[in-house]
């Protein structure tokens, strides 16, 4: 492999060369490879999958074990020495990966076995029987080998999907409950670090704490093939734990044990349980993942006790409970000043205390505690989430993403990270295909949210992501599900109105639905400006002015800085009604918006501005620039040609060409995205 790539492509050769340069570094993983190849982690994953049909981590592992094969064949190093030379700190795990790749153990290779046994013909055979007979003999040997090596089709391998159900408290002492919950929490967290597993979220499993449903019913609702059940108690210095792994289709335990351990062994117990569950499912655990699983969160059991007590308060997210959780986390830190997880959770708690507050009070606290968490454990997903929330708090969105992507690398089943990335790509860093990918991942990890309201919002986000990428029929299915689970969903009726428009292009119908929704609650400024916009597209400027005036008045009254990207439409309506001074003011705020805009839509926004000012050549230049962009929303295709400000360009043949280019580019991207998501089993 050091000379020629087994996969051929120059890109893969370069990737292999970089891995080989870092072969002995056990911490060299996907993110490190992406950095050295000067590309995003997601781009690296896509390209490696395209060329090799392997995930990036599987590809890195293949390079490592192939180099190990070369070392075993060429020198007298021991298996353990070779293991360390190719970046495996755990020799047992190295042997497992090696055997999976080559069918023989490293020891068997050392004894002369070849990775692939091949039938060969000695020269004496050719001399004795001639080329014709030799050729016949080759065919016969091949046929015999094919027959002898023919195997029955292997049984379909179950997807390695799992849920950890709430553990039962077997003690009469209710104070023991937080400790039992902690055992469940640690099992879940450790399994979530394994990329070869799909582990549903804590919120999805939590709803089954007191359920009467059977295993098959729960598994079907959670869409998993395996469930973990447990019960335990703590008394004096002892921990008792009963745990079993159940295959849902047969409702049959495939692994289970009873443990009685000293409290001092609780962390070793947690690690052992997670690894045995992974082994029972035959999940591949990488060396990096194993290191993350084996980490001990704190050197102080007393500190860990305070941490466990804080969790129920922490997850409730109410102001009072968050403040209680912060106090308990701080007590944990007083006992262990290097307790990274406690620092991270304090930072996250402060973020939620500030959420939706006009005046932020805890920004510096979030930053300070996040930095402490990263100082003591930079590979802890929660540390990276905490720092990402700080950047989110101060509006540095581009710095938020790499921290979240890194967190997802260390915890690939984190529904919180997936939701945050989806929200970022939906709102503040517009990218339709990433929004859809994370929305689809989110529904795999968190589909059985704790109540119907959360289900409604989960389906709403997925529907929105689907329609933005042109998957109208699929979006219709999920918006109907959103309303089915929660008919009071705040945003679903508005989104459904536009999905209906995407299906039939009927402005009148969409306008009627939106107006009806606004009349139910006339404080809804989001719907109000959409109603005005529908009249604007119909060039009914009297009605558009009526609704826009209401919107502008409310925005000014409450000092809201919203929908500035729509000010060009408001300016046009005021201008068409002869109110030129007010129109100029709105055009000015729109110009300020364009100057600050860093999104993919900037060229399109500036094009409309130039058209408003009668500078049509400049408008065409900007539209041509926008036509080179990717990941714009389907609404661009549906409404750009309806834009009244651009109407004078309709007589320009170049305008029709650029509109067609924008459409073609969107649908090409749509088709590629459809195949990509299908390959990832996300669509």
Q: Would you state the pLDDT for residue 111?
A: 61
Lowest model confidence (mean pLDDT) among 71-85, 121-135, 450-464: 121-135
d(CA 211, CA 223): 17
Average pLDDT along the chain = 85
The yes-or-no verdict on residue 600 having pLDDT over 50 is yes
Each domain of the chain, given as residue ranges in start order, spans 10-110, 119-149, 169-296, 302-478
Query: Can you list the pairs that 369-376 forms with residues at least 24 positions away whose Cβ atoms lie under 8 Å?
Result: 369/343, 369/344, 370/343, 370/344, 372/340, 372/343, 373/340, 373/341, 373/343, 373/344, 373/347, 374/340, 375/340, 376/338, 376/339, 376/340, 376/343
Q: Would you state the pLDDT for residue 683?
A: 64
The yes-or-no verdict on residue 128 having pLDDT over 60 is no
Which of 609, 604, 617, 613 is closest to 649 using CA atoms?
617
Q: Would you state the pLDDT for residue 428?
A: 81
Please report how the helices 432-446 and 452-468 are oriented relative to each other, as an axis angle in degrees rounded to 10. Answer: 150
In this prediction, residue 615 has a pLDDT band, given cuts at 50, 70 and 90, of: very high
**Helices marked H in 615-652 — which ranges?**
616-626, 634-639
Here the tokens at position 244 are 């079993």
Could you report the per-residue pLDDT of 357-374, keeping only the tens digit for each?
A: 778 999 999 999 999 999
d(CA 329, CA 346): 7
Q: Is 233 helix (H, G, I), strand (E, B) or coil?
A: strand
The yes-or-no verdict on residue 138 having pLDDT over 70 is no
Give the residue carrying structure tokens 């399994």. 191
489/409: higher pLDDT: 409
The yes-or-no verdict on residue 144 having pLDDT over 70 is no
Here the tokens at position 553 are 């008045």
Could you report the per-residue pLDDT of 29-38, keeping only the tens digit for each?
A: 887 888 888 8
Give the residue carrying structure tokens 């708690």. 349
The tally of CA atoms less than 13 A away on the side-chain side of residue 41 is 17
Lowest model confidence (mean pLDDT) among 427-441, 521-535, 564-578: 427-441
For residues 594-623, give the mean pLDDT. Answer: 95
**CATH number for domain 302-478, candidates 1.25.40.10, 3.40.50.720, 2.70.240.10, 3.20.20.70:** 1.25.40.10
Q: Would you state the pLDDT for residue 113?
A: 60
Could you report the per-residue pLDDT of 189-205, keeping only the tens digit for each?
A: 899 999 999 998 887 88
For residues 134-138, give the mean pLDDT. Answer: 34
Give the residue carrying structure tokens 């991942």. 441
For residues 433-452, give the mean pLDDT. Answer: 75
The CA angle 40-678-497, to the nearest 5 degrees, is: 95
Q: Is 375 helix (H, G, I), strand (E, B) or coil?
A: helix
334/147: higher pLDDT: 334
Whether the Cβ atoms of residue 520 and residue 489 lie closer than 8 Å to each other: no
Helix H or strand E encompassing 432: helix 432-446
State what percent of residues in the chain have pLDDT above 90: 48
The yes-or-no verdict on residue 579 having pLDDT over 70 is yes
Domain spanning 10-110: CATH superfamily: Homeodomain-like (1.10.10.60)
* Phi and psi, residue 569, nearest 5°: -70, -40
Here the tokens at position 615 are 């500078």
- Could you say which architecture CATH assigns to the domain 169-296? 3-Layer(aba) Sandwich (3.40)
The yes-or-no verdict on residue 133 having pLDDT over 50 is no
In this prediction, residue 153 has a pLDDT band, given cuts at 50, 70 and 90, of: very low
Largest CA distance in the chain: 104
94/93: higher pLDDT: 94
- Read off the DSSP letter of residue 165: P
For residues 565-573, give the mean pLDDT. Answer: 97
d(CA 380, CA 372): 12
Could you report the per-residue pLDDT of 380-410, keeping only the tens digit for each?
A: 999 999 999 999 999 898 899 999 999 999 9
In this prediction, residue 575 has a pLDDT band, given cuts at 50, 70 and 90, of: very high
State what percent of residues in the chain have pLDDT above 70: 88
Sign of the Cα torsion 217, 220, 225, 226 reads negative
In this prediction, residue 145 has a pLDDT band, given cuts at 50, 70 and 90, of: very low
* Phi and psi, residue 365, nearest 5°: -65, -40
In this prediction, residue 131 has a pLDDT band, given cuts at 50, 70 and 90, of: very low
d(CA 332, CA 303): 4
The yes-or-no verdict on residue 234 having pLDDT over 50 is yes
In this prediction, residue 177 has a pLDDT band, given cuts at 50, 70 and 90, of: confident
**456, 485, 516 from 446: Cα distances, Å:** 12, 15, 33
The yes-or-no verdict on residue 83 having pLDDT over 60 is yes
Lowest model confidence (mean pLDDT) among 125-134, 284-293, 315-324, 516-525: 125-134
Which residues make Cβ contacts (< 8 Å) with residue 576, sequence separation at least 6?
541
């Amino acid at each position: 492999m050091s000379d020629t790539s087994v996969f051929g492509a120059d890109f893969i050769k370069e990737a292999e060369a970089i891995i080989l340069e870092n072969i002995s570094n056990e911490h060299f993983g996907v993110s490190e490879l992406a950095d050295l190849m000067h590309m995003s982690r997601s781009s690296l994953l896509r390209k490696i999958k395209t060329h090799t049909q392997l995930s990036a981590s599987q590809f890195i592992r293949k390079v490592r074990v192939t180099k190990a094969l070369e070392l075993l064949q060429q020198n007298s190093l021991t298996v353990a020495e070779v293991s360390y030379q190719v970046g495996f700190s755990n020799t047992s795990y190295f042997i497992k990966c090696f055997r999976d790749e080559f069918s023989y153990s490293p020891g068997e290779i050392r004894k002369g076995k070849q990775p692939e046994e091949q039938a060969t013909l000695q020269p004496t055979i050719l001399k004795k029987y001639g080329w014709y007979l030799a050729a016949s003999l080759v065919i016969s040997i091949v046929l015999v080998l094919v027959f002898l090596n023919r195997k029955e089709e292997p049984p379909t391998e179950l997807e390695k999907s799992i849920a950890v159900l709430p553990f039962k408290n077997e003690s009469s002492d209710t104070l023991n409950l937080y400790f039992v919950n902690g055992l469940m929490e640690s099992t879940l967290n450790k399994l979530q670090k394994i990329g070869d597993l799909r582990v549903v979220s804590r919120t999805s499993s939590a709803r089954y704490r007191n359920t009467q449903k059977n295993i098959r019913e729960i598994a079907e609702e959670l869409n998993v093939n395996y469930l973990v059940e447990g019960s335990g108690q703590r008394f004096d210095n002892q921990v008792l734990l009963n745990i079993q792994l159940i295959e849902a289709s047969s409702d049959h335990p495939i692994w289970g044990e009873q443990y009685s351990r000293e409290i001092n062994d609780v962390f070793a117990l947690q690690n052992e349980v997670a690894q045995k569950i992974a082994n029972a499912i035959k999940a591949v655990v990488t060396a990096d993942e194993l290191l993350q699983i084996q980490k001990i969160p704190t050197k102080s059991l007393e500190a860990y006790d305070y941490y466990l007590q804080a969790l129920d308060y922490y997850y409730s997210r109410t102001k009072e409970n968050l403040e209680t959780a912060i106090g308990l986390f701080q007590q944990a830190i007083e006992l262990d000043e290097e307790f990274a997880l406690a620092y991270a959770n304090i930072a996250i708690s402060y973020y939620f205390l500030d959420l939706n507050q006009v005046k932020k009070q805890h920004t510096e606290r979030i930053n300070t505690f996040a930095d402490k968490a990263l100082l003591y454990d930079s590979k802890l997903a929660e540390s990276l989430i905490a720092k990402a929330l700080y950047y989110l708090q101060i509006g540095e969105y581009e710095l938020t993403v790499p921290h979240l992507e890194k967190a997802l690398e260390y915890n690939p089943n984190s529904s919180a990270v997936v939701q945050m990335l989806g929200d970022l790509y939906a709102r503040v860093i517009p990218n339709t295909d990433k929004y859809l990918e994370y929305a689809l991942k989110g529904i795999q990890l968190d589909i059985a949210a704790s109540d119907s309201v959360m289900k409604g919002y989960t389906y709403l986000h997925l529907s929105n992501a689907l329609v933005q990428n042109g998957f109208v029929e699929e979006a219709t299915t999920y918006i109907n599900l959103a309303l089915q689970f929660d008919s009071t969903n705040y945003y679903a009726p508005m989104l459904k109105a536009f999905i209906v428009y995407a299906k039939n292009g009927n402005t009148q119908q969409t306008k009627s639905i939106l107006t009806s929704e606004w009349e139910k609650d006339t404080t809804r400024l989001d719907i109000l400006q959409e109603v005005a916009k529908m009249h604007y597209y119909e060039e009914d400027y009297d009605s558009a002015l009526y609704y826009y005036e209401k919107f502008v008045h409310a925005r000014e009254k409450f000092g809201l800085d919203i929908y500035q990207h729509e000010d060009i439409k408001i300016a046009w309506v005021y201008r068409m009604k002869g109110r030129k001074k007010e129109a100029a003011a709105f055009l000015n705020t729109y110009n300020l918006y364009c100057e600050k805009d860093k999104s993919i839509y900037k060229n399109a926004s500036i094009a409309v501005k130039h058209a408003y000012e009668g500078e049509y050549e400049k408008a065409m230049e900007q539209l041509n620039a926008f036509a080179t962009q990717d990941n714009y929303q389907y609404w661009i295709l549906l409404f750009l040609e309806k834009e009244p400000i651009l109407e004078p360009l309709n007589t320009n043949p170049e305008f029709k060409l650029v509109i067609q280019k924008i459409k073609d580019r969107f649908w090409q991207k749509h088709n590629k995205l459809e195949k990509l998501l299908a390959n990832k089993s996300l669509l």
